[in-house]
A and B are shown apart, each in its own frame.
Chain A
Amino acid sequence: MKTTIQFIPIVILVVLASCTDVVDVEIQTGPERLVVEASIDWEKGTNGRVQTIRLRKSTPFFDEDTILDVTGASVTVTHDASGTNFVFTDQNDGSYRTSSFQPVIGQSYSLRIAYNGEVYTAQETLTPVTDITNVFQSREEGFETDILEVNVVFTDPDIEGDNYLFKFQRQGDLLPDLEYAEDEFVNGNEIEWWYEIDDDEDIPPFRAGDVVDIEMYGISRAYYDYIKILIDQMGGMGIFDTTPVAVKGNVINATNPENYAFGYFRLTEVDRTSYTFVEDGQ
């Protein structure tokens, strides 16, 4: 065997143009549906009496600024054990309000909406949430270690089966971010839940002086299953993402089941706070 291997300098020409761009796509238009945003959220430290339910219509996907508010519906929530009715009055802007709601942790409530000759119903239980015990900023957590993130600290209760929804929104930003969590692998532990804004987004990461609003909700398992699909499908559809599906919530059309509503009737306890980032010398 001859042994001289000559390593010849290799000219490398790689034009690896892997990137993304915004394109025009033809899509289908599905049926218009009632959208029920019936979020009865009981903020810690309040009496939870003032509650709002919003009704809208769905629109074609690429339609901008067409929010179809639904007015003229009759909206009632009933406390199942006592039969007490809470009537939500039409504010004529798509919202329906009561100021006499009586939230009780662990109790079941029913929603009834009569609209356009059809009756929609839903049932859900008010789910508690543990307290946020601390909020702090750091850099070393998160996907990128050189940018700021906020950490929300709480202790998961000992009994397994707690589910969480987080909502983060930097003041001044257009859109909030939703995240979900369950305690399957972390039951009973103290948890530090971090949130950061990626460097490669169109908006800048957190800076000193930014204020971020934080909401932590206790949610039912059924709502967890629902919101998880909803969040996973936002901006997804890459090749390693799950095939997206039409997500059905818990609002049933009792008159015409085919014409089901989007949205959800949820009852949660929520801990709200906000955090102002400070200079950390970096």
Chain B
Amino acid sequence: MNKTKGETPPFKITICLIWLFIAGSMITYGQQSHTISGTITDKSNGETLFGASVFLTGTTIGGVTNEYGFYSITAPAGAYVLNISYMGYTDVNIQINLNQDVKRDVEIAEFSTELQEVVVTAEEPERAILRKPEMSVVKMNVATIKQTPVVLGEVDVLKSLQLLPGVTNNGEGTGGFHVRGGAQDQNLVLLDEAIIYNTSHMFGFFSVFNADAIKDVKLYKGGIPARFGGRVSSVLDIRQKDGNRKNYGLTGGIGVISSRLTAEGPIFGDKGSFLIAGRRSYVDLLLAAANEDNRVSFYDLNLKTNYSINRNNKLFLSGYFGRDAFDFAGIFENSYGNGSGNLRWNHIFNDRLFSNLSAIYSRYDYDLNFDQDDFEWVSSITNYNLKYDMKYYLNDKFSLDFGVNGIYYDFDPGQIQPTSDTSPINPLSLDQKRALEGGLYINAEHKLTDKLTAQYGLRYSAFSRLGGQPITEYENGLPVVYNAALGIYERGEAIGETDFARSESIQTYGNFEPRISLAYLLNEESSVKAGFSRAAQYIHLLSNTTAVTPLDVWTPSGPFIEPQLSNQYALGYFRNFLDREYSLEVEAYYKTVDNRIDYIDGSELIGQNTIETEILNGEMRAYGLEVLLRKNVGDLTGWIAYTLSKSEQRTPGGAAGGPGINNGDWYNTNFDRTHDVSISGSYRLNDQWSFGSNLIFQTGRPVTYPNGQYLYEDLSIASFAPRNSDRLPAYHRVDASITFTPKKYKDKRFKGEWVLSVYNLYNRRNAASISFGQNIETGANEATRTAIFGIVPSLTYNFKF
């Protein structure tokens, strides 16, 4: 049990509030009410729509569809007009005579049948955006993502998200993303509920998400709902398409780097559908053609199928498998990738009670094969997750989410196997680690008055580091000790080992995580929101490099590593104006993270059996202001996003003694960006031509430069300034794209389009890194800049039929 001083009061308050509000709601709503429920789907393909707004016109009664397109609203008996709206779709109005419970499934149609459509939608359009207390959330439509100009023409979910406030990367050529000054491992990335441990292909040039297989993308930058847990910064919830229930179809694209093909269609008569999507790069083929010895390639495969047993029971099966492979001129080969599967059962108990049971598997592993020295190095993380979620729509003022989940983890930090008898390498296996993580939550969405809506919930998470491995004991219990004479941190002296049986628990932790947010409607066009959320994270990605690499290893909390705990406070102002053509969102946040791992000077993480001797326990804090101004409708759409922020960390010596890392001072994290501006726009000239453009400006990444030199062993040795006290030059670039849809396909089922995109239009040489060293010929010190992408034009052909 890990308790801090501030924890108890919010928890108690939450419990009290929940009881108060449940009781209150029960009393107020004794009168005769009926429920209308059903599923909202896309007319053309039968895909369920998540986040569609369902309202009774002329009232404030309404809601939005859940991840499975399900809605349920309860109102006093009477005649109503049911209005269904969803960004990019034509509104539907249906007369409803509510004198009994009604089931009504509704199909809605897109405005346009072009390949590309609308823009980023906020959580949901119009009035609901203002009323709903959920804040710090971005939902991105795949159509928008497809419209954004990207490097090498490869549509990329993560790169599009980085154009929004509060989301950054760690520079070109690096994987992952950072949310509100949080680290990469603090993002929970879910693909159809399965945890994805590495989001990038080819060291971050591409993301693992094939846009053709994805239905929607929702990023929670804060105010994470109680149903999610396990990461302290954000949740990226990506849902795969279910597959077209009406027609068979093929979608594909042929690009410079890779090609993709998706097949979908109905199966089991009208009871189900399937989707299979594949993508493969062919850089390796090009390299082979160019007589290059090095090889690099990736591929991925997405699968999804569903079957409706009856109206109230539906099964979904989804899977993902992706892999990267590198071959460095026969010296070593490296391959890595994620694999996941999820079997789900949607069950509707009644008009007001929706449930989903999921059994999820996911795994990330890598393999390094050193041909020359005849040995292989493998490492993996595997988890099995069982989760049961329910949503209860009590009445038009109150709905309740609750559920439970349990995750079992297997960590293989690394094994070395000689691959021949003559190998000079001895076999080695690091201690295999196991853990169990459980979660229990309840969350209420409660309309307190016509103007004030609250969302409040509580999650209890528990973690048990399971036995089956020895734990090293150190002199004085200190795996790291400060050598005061030399002023450095050193590895502690091991004095023995304790063996834990598989049935034993080495260490357990538990945390209450309250999540509260409020929305107050100022008038029909504007609202203010405030939120607080606490989250716990029990597994950590060990990385002491500037950017996370695919070879970094996850490690569970345990005797020497405490769970990370974050508190985030956010305040926001939301406004629609000029006939809702424009919207403005302004949010401020302050976030703290306790128990953030930091690495002692010279830490060695790969092949390390005793991680505890390499790390110290620190903390992080981040704060910022985000502004998003969007133009939502018309031929010209787009947004201006600006973030002013700070992200820092500090690691005092603690029990190890001494001042701590970087003298115990606060220092910039690798992903601190003072200013981050993105302007993204698209213009539709006519049915055939449309244009897109991005402008990006960011403060340079914090780096550590030399502050002196000295001669030692006939070499000039650099001495370095305090950690991250310098910065790379500012990063900026402009991208542009032109999409051409030939006319001849207009009325046929076959639709094709050409996308010409140019990344980094003015060929700015943005520094990915600057290295310092001696010129090998003159011996003089010099600074060398590495720029990854200059101007990169590319052409892609997309088709659908």
Q: Do the two shown chains form a genuine complex with each other?
A: yes
- Taking a contact as CB atoms under 8 Å apart, the answer to whether A175 and B714 are in contact is yes
- Taking a contact as CB atoms under 8 Å apart, the answer to whether B784 and A248 are in contact is no
Known interface pairs A236-B771, A239-B174; A61-B706 also in contact (CB < 8 Å): yes
From A8, A18, A39, give the contact of B797 (CB < 8 A).
Answer: A8
- Taking a contact as CB atoms under 8 Å apart, the answer to whether A30 and B705 are in contact is no
Question: In the complex, what residues of B have CB within 8 A of residue A29's CB?
Answer: 707-708
B634 interfacial contact with A, CB 8 Å: no
From A59, A237, A249, give the contact of B708 (CB < 8 A).
Answer: A59
- Taking a contact as CB atoms under 8 Å apart, the answer to whether A178 and B715 are in contact is yes
From A19, A201, A243, give the contact of B545 (CB < 8 A).
Answer: A243
- Taking a contact as CB atoms under 8 Å apart, the answer to whether B725 and A238 are in contact is no
- Taking a contact as CB atoms under 8 Å apart, the answer to whether A189 and B488 are in contact is no
- Taking a contact as CB atoms under 8 Å apart, the answer to whether A241 and B546 are in contact is yes
- Taking a contact as CB atoms under 8 Å apart, the answer to whether B254 and A61 are in contact is no
A151 interfacial contact with B, CB 8 Å: no
17 contacts between A and B (CB under 8 A): A1-B250, A10-B255, A14-B152, A18-B788, A20-B787, A23-B784, A27-B705, A29-B708, A33-B710, A61-B772, A62-B781, A174-B776, A185-B426, A189-B426, A238-B546, A246-B719, A252-B486
A276 interfacial contact with B, CB 8 Å: no
- Taking a contact as CB atoms under 8 Å apart, the answer to whether B601 and A237 are in contact is no
Question: In the complex, what residues of B have CB within 8 A of residue A252's CB?
Answer: 485-486
B768 interfacial contact with A, CB 8 Å: yes
A208 interfacial contact with B, CB 8 Å: no
Distance between A82 CB and nearest chain B CB, rounded to angstroms:
23
- Taking a contact as CB atoms under 8 Å apart, the answer to whether B330 and A242 are in contact is no
B792 interfacial contact with A, CB 8 Å: yes
B252 interfacial contact with A, CB 8 Å: yes
- Complex-state Cα separation, A10 to B718, whole angstroms: 49
Question: In the complex, what residues of B have CB within 8 A of residue A57's CB?
Answer: 710
Known interface pairs A15-B791, A144-B329, A248-B488; A176-B170 also in contact (CB < 8 Å): no
- Complex-state Cα separation, A247 to B710, whole angstroms: 12
Question: In the complex, what residues of B have CB within 8 A of residue A243's CB?
Answer: 544-546, 670, 704, 723-724
A257 interfacial contact with B, CB 8 Å: yes
Distance between A198 CB and nearest chain B CB, rounded to angstroms:
10
Distance between A146 CB and nearest chain B CB, rounded to angstroms:
10
- Complex-state Cα separation, A250 to B486, whole angstroms: 6
Distance between A248 CB and nearest chain B CB, rounded to angstroms:
5
Question: In the complex, what residues of B have CB within 8 A of residue A175's CB?
Answer: 714-715, 774, 776, 779
Interface residues of B in 598-637 (CB under 8 A from A): 601-603, 607
- Taking a contact as CB atoms under 8 Å apart, the answer to whether A58 and B710 are in contact is yes
A81 interfacial contact with B, CB 8 Å: no
- Taking a contact as CB atoms under 8 Å apart, the answer to whether B801 and A2 are in contact is yes
- Complex-state Cα separation, A11 to B703, whole angstroms: 39
B789 interfacial contact with A, CB 8 Å: yes
Interface residues of B in 684-719 (CB under 8 A from A): 703-715, 717-719
Question: In the complex, what residues of A have CB within 8 A of residue B780's CB?
Answer: 64
Known interface pairs A185-B416, A192-B424, A237-B771; A174-B777 also in contact (CB < 8 Å): yes
Residue on B nearest A10 in the bound complex, by CB: B254
B510 interfacial contact with A, CB 8 Å: no
Residue on A nearest B748 in the bound complex, by CB: A2
Interface residues of B in 759-801 (CB under 8 A from A): 763, 765, 767-795, 797, 799, 801
Contact with B along A1-27 (1 / 0, CB 8 A): 110010110111111111111111101
- Complex-state Cα separation, A67 to B714, whole angstroms: 12
B337 interfacial contact with A, CB 8 Å: no
From A20, A37, A64, give the contact of B785 (CB < 8 A).
Answer: A20
- Complex-state Cα separation, A176 to B774, whole angstroms: 11
- Complex-state Cα separation, A13 to B717, whole angstroms: 42
- Taking a contact as CB atoms under 8 Å apart, the answer to whether B712 and A263 are in contact is yes
A187 interfacial contact with B, CB 8 Å: yes
Question: In the complex, what residues of A have CB within 8 A of residue B88's CB?
Answer: none
B333 interfacial contact with A, CB 8 Å: no
Distance between B594 CB and nearest chain A CB, rounded to angstroms:
22
- Taking a contact as CB atoms under 8 Å apart, the answer to whether A63 and B726 are in contact is no
- Taking a contact as CB atoms under 8 Å apart, the answer to whether B794 and A14 are in contact is yes
Interface residues of A in 139-191 (CB under 8 A from B): 141, 143-145, 167, 174-176, 178, 184-187, 189-191
From B424, B603, B783, give the contact of A24 (CB < 8 A).
Answer: B783
Q: What count of chain B residues pass the 8 Å CB interface test?
A: 97
- Taking a contact as CB atoms under 8 Å apart, the answer to whether A202 and B601 are in contact is no
- Complex-state Cα separation, A187 to B428, whole angstroms: 12
Q: A33-B710, A234-B717, A241-B546 are in contact. List 8 more A-B contacts (CB 8 A).
A: A2-B749, A20-B785, A28-B726, A202-B775, A235-B773, A239-B768, A244-B720, A245-B601
- Taking a contact as CB atoms under 8 Å apart, the answer to whether B547 and A239 are in contact is yes
Distance between B170 CB and nearest chain A CB, rounded to angstroms:
7
Question: In the complex, what residues of A have CB within 8 A of residue B726's CB?
Answer: 27-28
- Complex-state Cα separation, A241 to B171, whole angstroms: 14
A233 interfacial contact with B, CB 8 Å: yes
Distance between A74 CB and nearest chain B CB, rounded to angstroms:
21
- Taking a contact as CB atoms under 8 Å apart, the answer to whether A244 and B718 are in contact is yes
A35 interfacial contact with B, CB 8 Å: yes
- Complex-state Cα separation, A237 to B750, whole angstroms: 50
A56 interfacial contact with B, CB 8 Å: yes
- Complex-state Cα separation, A61 to B776, whole angstroms: 16
Question: In the complex, what residues of B have CB within 8 A of residue A241's CB?
Answer: 545-546
Interface residues of B in 632-649 (CB under 8 A from A): none
Q: What count of chain A residues pass the 8 Å CB interface test?
A: 89
Interface residues of A in 69-122 (CB under 8 A from B): none
Known interface pairs A178-B713, A239-B173, A239-B546; A17-B791 also in contact (CB < 8 Å): yes
Question: In the complex, what residues of A have CB within 8 A of residue B425's CB?
Answer: 185-186
Query: What are the 6 closest A-B residue pairs judged by CB atoms, nearest first?
Result: A17-B790, A235-B773, A30-B707, A58-B710, A35-B710, A1-B248
B249 interfacial contact with A, CB 8 Å: yes
Question: In the complex, what residues of A have CB within 8 A of residue B781's CB?
Answer: 61-62, 64
Interface residues of A in 226-282 (CB under 8 A from B): 228-230, 233-250, 252, 257, 260, 262-264
Question: In the complex, what residues of A have CB within 8 A of residue B792's CB?
Answer: 14-16
Question: In the complex, what residues of B have CB within 8 A of residue A37's CB?
Answer: 711-713
Known interface pairs A33-B710, A175-B714, A244-B718; A5-B426 also in contact (CB < 8 Å): no
- Taking a contact as CB atoms under 8 Å apart, the answer to whether A19 and B801 are in contact is no
Contact with A along B307-337 (1 / 0, CB 8 A): 0000000000000000000000111000000
A225 interfacial contact with B, CB 8 Å: yes
- Complex-state Cα separation, A247 to B255, whole angstroms: 47
Question: In the complex, what residues of B have CB within 8 A of residue A225's CB?
Answer: 490, 602
Question: In the complex, what residues of B have CB within 8 A of residue A230's CB?
Answer: 712, 717
Question: In the complex, what residues of A have CB within 8 A of residue B707's CB?
Answer: 27-30, 61
From A21, A33, A229, give the contact of B601 (CB < 8 A).
Answer: A229
Distance between B296 CB and nearest chain A CB, rounded to angstroms:
13
- Complex-state Cα separation, A184 to B775, whole angstroms: 33
Residue on A nearest B263 in the bound complex, by CB: A1
- Taking a contact as CB atoms under 8 Å apart, the answer to whether B777 and A203 are in contact is yes
Distance between B754 CB and nearest chain A CB, rounded to angstroms:
9
- Complex-state Cα separation, A32 to B486, whole angstroms: 18
A60 interfacial contact with B, CB 8 Å: yes
Residue on B nearest A34 in the bound complex, by CB: B710
Question: In the complex, what residues of A have CB within 8 A of residue B795's CB?
Answer: 10-13
B94 interfacial contact with A, CB 8 Å: no
Question: In the complex, what residues of B have CB within 8 A of residue A239's CB?
Answer: 170-171, 173-174, 545-547, 768-769
B77 interfacial contact with A, CB 8 Å: no
- Taking a contact as CB atoms under 8 Å apart, the answer to whether B787 and A19 are in contact is yes
Question: In the complex, what residues of B have CB within 8 A of residue A257's CB?
Answer: 487
- Complex-state Cα separation, A248 to B658, whole angstroms: 15
B721 interfacial contact with A, CB 8 Å: yes
From A5, A14, A18, give the contact of B787 (CB < 8 A).
Answer: A18
Distance between A262 CB and nearest chain B CB, rounded to angstroms:
5
- Complex-state Cα separation, A57 to B719, whole angstroms: 12
B595 interfacial contact with A, CB 8 Å: no
Known interface pairs A185-B428, A191-B424; A23-B712 also in contact (CB < 8 Å): no
Known interface pairs A27-B726, A185-B428; A15-B793 also in contact (CB < 8 Å): yes
- Taking a contact as CB atoms under 8 Å apart, the answer to whether B711 and A244 are in contact is no
Question: In the complex, what residues of A have CB within 8 A of residue B799's CB?
Answer: 5
B356 interfacial contact with A, CB 8 Å: no
